[in-house]
């Protein structure tokens, strides 16, 4: 199996791992029948992702983690859209939970994680990596003397 | 960005799939570049220019791009 095919396995593997974790949580909190159904859904989703990842399309390249520069850009734009939807969903979920007098901390925790990772990303992909590289170079130069 | 990629590729008798394989990109990306929907990065533009053995500025025309 080539490295290209290995990369195609990443997304389905993550789907199986996440799906299995959810299935275990469902099994512990609800019933093991529900957990089995949850696991089967996750496996079906993973198989679909593997099949889609092998297609010669932009979606196939994104799912199969083997895109070129334009497909990476397409993936980035799709991720941006996805993030916007997640932010709206978190805010809506928080409002609905608050109105229904349910716990809102999971939504707050999600919002904090989204905010922190966004600003970390701005710093890291903006100047953070350059600063780290410069610091490493200066450190190496200092050792040379 | 307008370009002469399709004209050059057809002139060399290459299919889009063959050209994509030479460049190491997808066929969809070759189609997007030829249609002017995607402006390639500098490294890719230079790779394309090397395939056709011509200067990059003769291959790509920035006229009409926002300045």
For the cut 70, the answer to whether the pLDDT of residue A5 exceeds it is no
CA distance A57 to chain B (A): 7
Q: A113-127 pLDDT, tens per residue?
A: 999 999 999 998 888
Q: Distance between CA B58 and CA B67 in Å, rounded?
A: 19
Average pLDDT, chain B: 91
Query: Does residue A106 surpass a pLDDT of 90?
Result: yes
Both structure tokens of A141: 């130069």
B30–chain A nearest CA distance, Å: 10
| Whether pLDDT at A4 is above 90 | no
Q: Is A44 helix (H, G, I), strand (E, B) or coil?
A: helix
A70–B27: do the CB atoms touch at under 8 Å? no
Q: Distance between CA A74 and CA A69 in Å, rounded?
A: 9
* Distance in angstroms (rounded) separating the CA atoms of residues A49 and A57: 13
* pLDDT value at residue B67: 41
**A2: pLDDT strictly greater than 70:** no
Once rounded to an integer, what is the mean pLDDT over residues A3-16?
A: 84
pLDDT band at B13 (very low <50, low <70, confident <90, very high): very high
- What's the pTM? 0.75
How does DSSP assign B28-57, residue by residue? HHHHHHHTTS-PPPHHHHHHHHHHHTS-HH
Q: Is A68 on the interface with B (CB under 8 A)?
A: yes
Please tell me the distance in Å from A68's CA to the nearest CA on chain B.
Answer: 5
Residue A68 tokens read as 């070129």
Q: Which residues of B touch A77 (CB under 8 A)?
A: none
Contacts of A65 in chain B (CB under 8 A): none
| Beta-carbon separation of B26 and A68 below 8 A | yes
What confidence tier does B64 reach under pLDDT thresholds 50, 70, 90?
low
């Amino acid at each position: 199996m080539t490295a290209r095919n290995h990369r195609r396995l990443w997304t389905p593997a993550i789907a199986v791992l996440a799906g299995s974790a959810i299935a275990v949580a469902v099994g512990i909190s609800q019933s093991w029948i529900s957990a089995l159904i949850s696991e089967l859904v996750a496996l079906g989703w993973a198989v679909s992702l593997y099949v889609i990842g092998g297609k010669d399309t932009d979606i196939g390249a994104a799912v199969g983690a083997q895109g070129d520069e334009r497909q990476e850009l397409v993936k980035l734009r799709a991720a941006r859209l996805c993030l916007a939807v997640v932010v709206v969903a978190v805010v809506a979920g928080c409002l609905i939970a608050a109105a229904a007098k349910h716990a809102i901390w999971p939504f707050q925790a999600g919002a904090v994680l989204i905010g922190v990772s966004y600003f970390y990303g701005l710093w890291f992909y903006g100047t953070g990596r350059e600063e780290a590289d410069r610091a490493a170079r200066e450190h190496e130069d200092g050792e040379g003397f | 960005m307008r370009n002469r990629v399709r004209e050059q590729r057809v002139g060399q008798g290459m299919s889009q799939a063959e050209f994509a394989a030479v460049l190491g990109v997808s066929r969809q990306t070759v189609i997007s570049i030829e249609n002017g929907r995607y402006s390639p990065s500098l490294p890719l533009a230079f790779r394309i220019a090397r395939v056709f053995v011509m200067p990059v500025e003769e291959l790509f025309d920035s006229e009409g791009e926002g300045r």
